Structure 1
Amino acid sequence: MRFGEINQEISEHKESKLNPCDPDDESNTTVEDDESTDGNIDGEEEEDDDEEMSQSCIEELELFRQTYKTISTRFRLISKIGEGTFSSVYKAEDLGGSTTDNDDSHGTRRTGPKRYVAIKRICVTSSPQRILNELILLHNLSQSEAVAPLITAFREHEQVMAVLPFCKHTEFRIFRDQPIEEFKYYLKNLFTGLSHVHAQNIIHRDIKPTNFLYDLDKREGYVVDFGLAEKESLEPQYCVCRGGREHPRSYGDRQPANGYLKNDSRPGRRANRAGTRGFRAPEVLLKCMNQTTKIDIWSVGVIILCFLSKRFPFFQSSDDIDAMIEIGTMAGRHKMSSCARLHGALFDTNISTISEHGIRYEDIVAWALTTEDFDPNRVDEVRDMMQEDDDYRHAFSLLKKCLDLDFRKRISAADALRHPFLRGV
């Protein structure tokens, strides 16, 4: 029996016990600086899309129409499809019956069947520089494959709105139960999009399932939401990981003799920590000031772990300390200490669940798949069957390359496309 068959058997009787979070509660997956916006790309549809909405959403759409006249003259608002910290996203019909081709950066219009778009209404409290940065990055990526193109953007009063194509996509909570062969196409599209983004030294910073819209029927996916994206800094600052001098706050290899300083006079360390809880790389948690595109690869690794374990979200941390403990439980004390020293920090713990060498990913996934009726023999059976299946062996190989604590050894998006797991896709 192939592992895919036993995996299907497990999935058929596995319910919400594998996921203690409420599937509709976004607070379980997002924290500060997070922006969860769904639903754009590729908007040609034949059927009418007047969707059922709550009364509050109906009132919100009507207020939107009345306040911003440009909307009512150019678009027919249909529904609200996403909301995050910094924006709301609405599905709308382009009344001109036209949109912009993804491969045309000059915005050539074309006529055709009814076209749908996603209107991103950026929060008016967002800084002008942040808004400008997102629009510039989207424009620069307009010819990139598997990246949502910017159709247009406009400002009315103090409100800035970006228009992108609309995309029908499969929710990850549904997609995660697909066979592993389908997951190969998912990852190929995701790594293709990231390879184009990273080629321009752009860090997305918020890679997660809700920011990668995958159409299961078409086997096409698009990276969306560049609200937190930024250019990678090419000049090393304080962090020792890229050749900079040791930060004044760094312990390096020194152990505190008798506990920790009560009144620490050393200057604090400031670094960009934007992203979503559970998907942030260890160098982000350690406040590395020279973060690279490899933080996006870590996030892809978390997505792979979610798919293999059928748990979403996989990590349940409420803050950075808990996040370090979760990663440390898997990686072990030795690797976590090395990772901390790489960024001029110290990792020290007496928590019993963090062993010296951690837990193998194969064991973690096998346990996750059999957690309802925890049986050591069943765990061993599932793990052994995964190791005998070529697809799963390659999947775990790619997972380990994505979740390497040392960002310098972490695989790139371009190299991931050549990994054996994606060969032939």
Structure 2
Amino acid sequence: MSVKPVRNNVPEEIQEEMSRLYEEVPTLEDDYELLDKIGEGTFSSVYKAKDLKGKIYQKYASHFWSSEAKYVALKKIYVTSSPQRIYNELNLLYILAGCIRVAPLCDATRVRDQVIAVLPYYQHEEFRNFYRDLPIKGIKKYMWELLQALNFVHSKGIIHRDVKPTNFLYNPELGRGVLVDFGLAEMQVNYLDEINGQLNDDNTISVKERRHQEQFCPCIMREAGLSAPHGVSGPMITIQNGKVVHLNGLNNIDLTKGYPKYETRRVKRANRAGTRGFRAPEVLMKCGAQTTKIDIWSVGVILLSLLSRRFPMFQSLDDTDSLLELCSIFGWKKLKKCANIHGLGFEVSNIQNIKEEGYPGGLKGFVYDLLNKECEEGTFPEYSISFETHCYLSQELHDKVSIEPKLPNGEDMKSRADAYQLKKYQEEIWSDHFWCFQLLQQCFEMDPQKRSSADELIHSAFFYELTDAGETTEGEMTDDDLNNTDYSGVEDNDVLLISG
């Protein structure tokens, strides 16, 4: 095996790690030159590499943001991952290869238990480096790219399940983004089909059937237009002094000290995949009928961080704290209604600053107070774009004029033309903020059925500027791109795995 050049800017331990990878997968060095390690997660490590023969670029040219450097990302999936999980991720990536805003699976190599997935390399900026400086127009473009990606993913019946800034690679200068990491993604289940054949004569599902379905949720019946059986009380979530003390309908039992030994009633089970702080209420409440709408809630969390210039927004350590964080903004009344949708009770007591109706002024009041505190403490630089959002909210909440901008006195302006241009600019910025907060509200609808889809959000007024400018709403690869991709010998439901 040839000796790879030493890279002085790469730590020695990373160079040793890349050398081991060459030894583990000897066929790699014929096609790729490992350059650096660019990421590491629970289930994988990601390396930047040069596509020596340019084969990947030729097949997936539309996915590359630059034609100058032919770089790829090699994702080493740890052998500790289950074979089904590895297959699931690679297969979903293969299914999603037709969208330029979703990282495609370009190739995959398997040597014994070692699996290497090859994806395009995207030159992006870390979210932490730009979220405080992105103007409202930049926020609009960021959200447009993200929602376009999710719209394509959801159209295939796939739930990403882990939408967050680190899984959406964005280049602010190019205004381009790509959705990555489908390790937790799943196909959405048609829960309505599952309840067929289980109906009673009175158009209900029996209590016996419900108890034996761990992932059953009453919201399924609501979606099907069915009625729940009378006299059946659901489990109860009760939070006192920040701790869950009642659960699963077991009143007067302190579950912080353990569960009853011989409890036989159904315990709700549901997929809790995702990252804390980005989980939707239905995930926190263990709804077994989760849909693509959980990704839209995560989009709302990202947008809230961009508007308030605060990241991470939520920092809860567990589901209980997460519910309390949501209560502090939306109020316990909305959480209680949300719990009822999923067959749960919800009570909160003896917790300071948790109100029935939520934060004064709602989401706008919450964002305003976060920005106002920074303005008072002087943590924003004088040129910060955040002052535009702060000024808009100040007028919206306190001066009660949401669109009309404030202008300096005429004597402070050099000319009427300057005054006109400033007024025009401010009106546009004010309008953008108005529609942006409406979009935010649509993402944070507690009822997943009422929460807007990615397609509905794309067609909201906030994005009219982009659609009028002719921005593509599809993101599909061209026919030439698809024709240049060699899928010979690959079945529709299979992913190409090349054994070394």
Bin for the TM-score computed over the shorter chain: 0.7 to 0.9
**Given that residues 249 and 266 in structure 1 are in contact (C-alpha distance below 8 angstroms), is that contact kept between their aligned partners in structure 2?**
no
- How far apart are 1:74 and its partner, in Å? 1.5
In structure 2, the CA distance between the partners of 1:77 and 1:253, relative to structure 1 (3 Å rule), is closer
**Given that residues 253 and 341 in structure 1 are in contact (C-alpha distance below 8 angstroms), is that contact kept between their aligned partners in structure 2?**
no
CA distance in 1 between partners of 2:114 and 2:158 (Å):
26
In structure 2, the CA distance between the partners of 1:357 and 1:74, relative to structure 1 (3 Å rule), is same
CA deviations over 1:366-405 (Å, ceiling 9, x no partner) = 1111224659xx9996622464421111111000100111
**Given that residues 368 and 394 in structure 2 are in contact (C-alpha distance below 8 angstroms), is that contact kept between their aligned partners in structure 1?**
no
1:390 aligns with 2:390: no
Give the letter for the 1:356 counterpart. E
Q: 2:452 matched to which residue of 1?
A: 411
1:126 aligns with 2:81: yes
1:366 aligns with 2:368: yes
CA deviations over 1:267-294 (Å, ceiling 9, x no partner) = 3221100001110101001110000000
Q: 1:340 matched to which residue of 2?
A: 339
Q: 1:201 matched to which residue of 2?
A: 157
Give the letter for the 1:162 counterpart. A
Q: Look at both structures and tell me which one has the larger radius of gyration over its CA atoms.
A: 2
Q: TM-score, normalised by structure 1?
A: 0.81
- How far apart are 1:219 and its partner, in Å? 1.2
1:161 aligns with 2:116: yes
Q: 2:101 matched to which residue of 1?
A: 146
Q: 1:93 aligns with which of 50, 66, 73?
A: 50
Give the letter for the 1:368 counterpart. L
In structure 2, the CA distance between the partners of 1:50 and 1:365, relative to structure 1 (3 Å rule), is farther
In structure 2, the CA distance between the partners of 1:102 and 1:310, relative to structure 1 (3 Å rule), is farther
Q: 1:242 aligns with which of 212, 220, 234?
A: 220
In structure 2, the CA distance between the partners of 1:82 and 1:198, relative to structure 1 (3 Å rule), is same
- How far apart are 1:252 and its partner, in Å? 7.1
2:373 is paired with a residue whose SS is: coil
In structure 2, the CA distance between the partners of 1:341 and 1:258, relative to structure 1 (3 Å rule), is same
CA distance in 2 between partners of 1:220 and 1:414 (Å):
18
**Given that residues 371 and 390 in structure 2 are in contact (C-alpha distance below 8 angstroms), is that contact kept between their aligned partners in structure 1?**
no
In structure 2, the CA distance between the partners of 1:258 and 1:152, relative to structure 1 (3 Å rule), is closer
**Given that residues 191 and 220 in structure 2 are in contact (C-alpha distance below 8 angstroms), is that contact kept between their aligned partners in structure 1?**
no
CA deviations over 1:220-239 (Å, ceiling 9, x no partner) = 11111110000001024510
- How far apart are 1:64 and its partner, in Å? 1.4
Q: 1:259 matched to which residue of 2?
A: 252
1:335 is paired with a residue whose SS is: helix
Q: 1:355 matched to which residue of 2?
A: 355
What does 1:165-180 align with in structure 2 at a 5 Å threshold? 165-176=120-131, 177-180=133-136
Q: 1:281 matched to which residue of 2?
A: 280
**Given that residues 237 and 346 in structure 2 are in contact (C-alpha distance below 8 angstroms), is that contact kept between their aligned partners in structure 1?**
no
2:115 is paired with a residue whose SS is: strand
1:221 aligns with 2:177: yes
**Given that residues 368 and 393 in structure 2 are in contact (C-alpha distance below 8 angstroms), is that contact kept between their aligned partners in structure 1?**
yes
- How far apart are 1:113 and its partner, in Å? 5.3
Larger displacement relative to structure 2 (194-203 or 113-122) = 113-122
Give the letter for the 1:259 counterpart. N
**Given that residues 98 and 115 in structure 1 are in contact (C-alpha distance below 8 angstroms), is that contact kept between their aligned partners in structure 2?**
no
Runs of 5+ consecutive residues of structure 2 not aligned to the other structure: 1-5, 193-214, 223-227, 239-245, 378-386, 397-401, 404-429, 467-500
In structure 2, the CA distance between the partners of 1:249 and 1:225, relative to structure 1 (3 Å rule), is farther
**Given that residues 277 and 317 in structure 1 are in contact (C-alpha distance below 8 angstroms), is that contact kept between their aligned partners in structure 2?**
yes
Give the letter for the 1:371 counterpart. K
**Given that residues 89 and 118 in structure 1 are in contact (C-alpha distance below 8 angstroms), is that contact kept between their aligned partners in structure 2?**
yes
Backbone CA RMSD of aligned residues: 2.9
CA distance in 2 between partners of 1:414 and 1:393 (Å):
20
Give the letter for the 1:307 counterpart. L
CA deviations over 1:7-46 (Å, ceiling 9, x no partner) = xxxxxxxxxxxxxxxxxxxxxxxxxxxxxxxxxxxxxxxx
CA deviations over 1:283-323 (Å, ceiling 9, x no partner) = 00111000000000000000000000101110010111111
In structure 2, the CA distance between the partners of 1:180 and 1:123, relative to structure 1 (3 Å rule), is same
Runs of 5+ consecutive residues of structure 1 not aligned to the other structure: 1-48
Q: 1:308 matched to which residue of 2?
A: 307
- How far apart are 1:421 and its partner, in Å? 1.0
Give the letter for the 2:443 counterpart. C
The alignment covers a number of residue pairs equal to 371
In structure 2, the CA distance between the partners of 1:411 and 1:102, relative to structure 1 (3 Å rule), is farther
**Given that residues 141 and 147 in structure 1 are in contact (C-alpha distance below 8 angstroms), is that contact kept between their aligned partners in structure 2?**
yes
**Given that residues 97 and 114 in structure 1 are in contact (C-alpha distance below 8 angstroms), is that contact kept between their aligned partners in structure 2?**
no
Q: 1:319 matched to which residue of 2?
A: 318
CA distance in 2 between partners of 1:280 and 1:361 (Å):
18
- How far apart are 1:103 and its partner, in Å? 6.5
CA distance in 2 between partners of 1:195 and 1:102 (Å):
24
Q: TM-score, normalised by structure 2?
A: 0.69
In structure 2, the CA distance between the partners of 1:103 and 1:160, relative to structure 1 (3 Å rule), is closer
CA deviations over 1:234-264 (Å, ceiling 9, x no partner) = 0245100121767x89237999796347624
**Given that residues 249 and 268 in structure 1 are in contact (C-alpha distance below 8 angstroms), is that contact kept between their aligned partners in structure 2?**
no
What does 1:96-107 align with in structure 2 at a 5 Å threshold? 96-100=53-57
Q: 2:206 matched to which residue of 1?
A: none
CA deviations over 1:144-186 (Å, ceiling 9, x no partner) = 2411111011101211111000010121112211111011111
CA distance in 2 between partners of 1:382 and 1:364 (Å):
14
CA distance in 2 between partners of 1:72 and 1:221 (Å):
29
Larger displacement relative to structure 2 (382-391 or 318-327) = 382-391
